[in-house]
Amino acid sequence: MNSLVRVAPAFRDMAHSIVWASVATVDPDGRPRTRILHPIWEWDGTDLTGWIATVPTPIKRAHLDAHPEMSVSYWAPTHDTCSADCAAQWHTDDETRKAVWDKFLHGPEPVGYDPRIIPMWADGPTTEQFAVLRLRPYRLRVMAGTVMTKAEGEPLVWRERETA
């Protein structure tokens, strides 16, 4: 098992280079649904936190009310892949929404962007159509494409705690 200190920076770097992720949630009846979202990740040397700026649709709300977890998966044409299984929490307070808006606005390329390009967010971070999801990973996996295509190296995996 790898340590978070080793895996989190590798995950963040690969995720930010790929940018767009397939994100899965589960509805109240146990059926999964995926969507494409654009998380930004922060690593402070101890904790990895993901932030997603999104429209708080009734479907997303119902899924996360029933099962407050998300699986986030990235893939690049080189077959580099990384994934994070996370606890997810809504933030709709103005302070957090403004802070996360600024994280995207001033984020490093290619993951940073001006959220106002989304028409329903033209009025800024306090519009009702703008909400934030905070992600706390409990499992990370990072695999360079060469692990699969050339049998070079091995995936990096971190779990918050081992299960029996």
Is 164 part of a structural domain of the chain?
no
- Contact yes or no for 73/128 (Cβ under 8 A): no
Instruction: Write out the chain's pLDDT in tens, 164 residues.
Output: 579 999 999 999 999 999 999 999 999 999 999 999 999 999 999 999 999 999 999 999 999 999 999 999 999 999 999 999 999 999 999 999 999 999 999 999 999 999 999 999 999 999 999 999 999 999 999 998 877 778 888 898 999 985 54
Q: Determine contact, residues 163/9, Cβ cutoff 8 Å.
A: no
Q: Please, where are the H alpha helices in 78-149?
A: 94-105, 145-149
138 lies in which domain range? 4-159
**AA identity, residue 34:** T
85 domain residue, yes or no? yes
CATH number of residue 83's parent domain: 2.30.110.10
Number of compact structural domains in the chain: 1
Residue 141 included in any domain? yes
d(CA 135, CA 82): 15
**Tokens describing residue 19:** 């940018």
Ramachandran angles phi, psi of 120, nearest 5°: -75, -5
pLDDT tens column, 112-139? 999 999 999 999 999 999 999 999 999 9
Residue 156's contacts (CB-CB under 8 Å, 6 or more residues apart) are 2, 6, 7, 10, 11, 140, 141, 142, 143
